[in-house]
DNA sequence: GCCAACGTTGGC
DNA sequence: GCCAACGTTGGC
């Protein structure tokens, strides 16, 4: 069992939307590193920290779970789709995704500011690394546990 | 294969 | 709205 953090802009798709839909294909990832995490390393049942980016304040909003094996992101084939990729094709698909299932909101929102106050424990937490732009990143088990404890604090 | 130009992310 | 970081593109 592995743990992940996935970013989304709440104006586009936030934790409330996930709660409403329950399960959602995590489409639109167009970064190879992020894709590789989904395609090569995610397993059904893995834990996901649902992070709100590009909002005030940014932070972790809830918990979700990987709900499918990786499969081809359908939006890459659709010329009308925002995430259409003309270099992708049905026989040579570039982008894969997984479905994400809603588990729960955090009891309280953990802002990026607050997380930054714990860099002593959250060393090498990718989210806190300078210049980090990855939308999908691995979370170590100890960090996962620590963050869920912070929620109670 | 190098690298400058350009585009995107995302915090501030 | 600014800008740092950094990935991608394309000319050579």
Instruction: Report the b/e string of A108-139 with b at 16+ CB within 10 A.
Output: ebbbeeebeebeeebeebebeeeeeebbbbeb
Is A135 (CB) below 7 Å from strand B? yes
For residue A22, the model assigns a pLDDT of 98
User: Structural domain tally of chain A?
Assistant: 1
For residue A86, the model assigns a pLDDT of 86
For residue A124, the model assigns a pLDDT of 86
- A20 three-class SS: helix
Q: What is the pLDDT of residues A2-26, one digit of tens each?
A: 999 999 999 999 999 999 999 999 9
Is A133 (CB) below 7 Å from strand C? yes
Q: What is the C-alpha separation between A84 and A93, in angstroms, rounded?
A: 11
For residue A99, the model assigns a pLDDT of 98
Q: How far is the CA of A58 from the C1' of B11 (A)?
A: 8
pLDDT at A33 over 90: yes
CATH of residue A102's domain is 3.10.590.10
Average pLDDT for A136-151: 95
Single pTM value for the model? 0.94
Is A133 (CB) below 7 Å from strand B? yes
Q: What is the pLDDT of residues A52-105, one digit of tens each?
A: 999 999 999 999 999 999 999 999 999 888 899 988 888 889 999 999 999 999
For residue A81, the model assigns a pLDDT of 87
Give me the long-range contacts of A113-119 (CB less than 8 A, separation at least 24).
Answer: A113/A57, A113/A59, A114/A59, A114/A150, A115/A59, A115/A60, A115/A147, A115/A150, A118/A146, A118/A150
Domain coverage including residue A52:
3-150
CB A122 within 8 A of CB A97: no
Residue A90 is classified by DSSP as: S
């Amino acid at each position: 069992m592995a743990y992940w953090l996935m970013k989304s802009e709440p104006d586009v798709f936030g934790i409330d939307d996930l709660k409403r839909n329950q399960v959602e294909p995590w489409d639109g990832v167009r970064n190879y590193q992020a894709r590789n995490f989904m395609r090569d390393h995610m397993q059904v049942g893995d834990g996901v920290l649902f992070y709100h980016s590009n909002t005030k304040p940014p932070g972790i909003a809830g918990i979700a779970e990987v709900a499918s094996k990786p499969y081809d992101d359908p939006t890459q084939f659709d010329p009308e789709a925002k995430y259409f990729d003309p270099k992708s094709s049905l026989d040579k698909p570039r982008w894969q995704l997984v479905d994400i299932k809603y588990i729960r909101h955090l009891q309280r929102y953990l802002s990026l500011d607050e997380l930054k106050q714990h860099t002593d424990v959250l060393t090498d937490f990718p989210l806190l690394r300078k210049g980090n732009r990855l939308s999908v990143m691995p979370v170590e088990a100890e960090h996962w546990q620590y963050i869920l404890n912070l929620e109670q604090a």
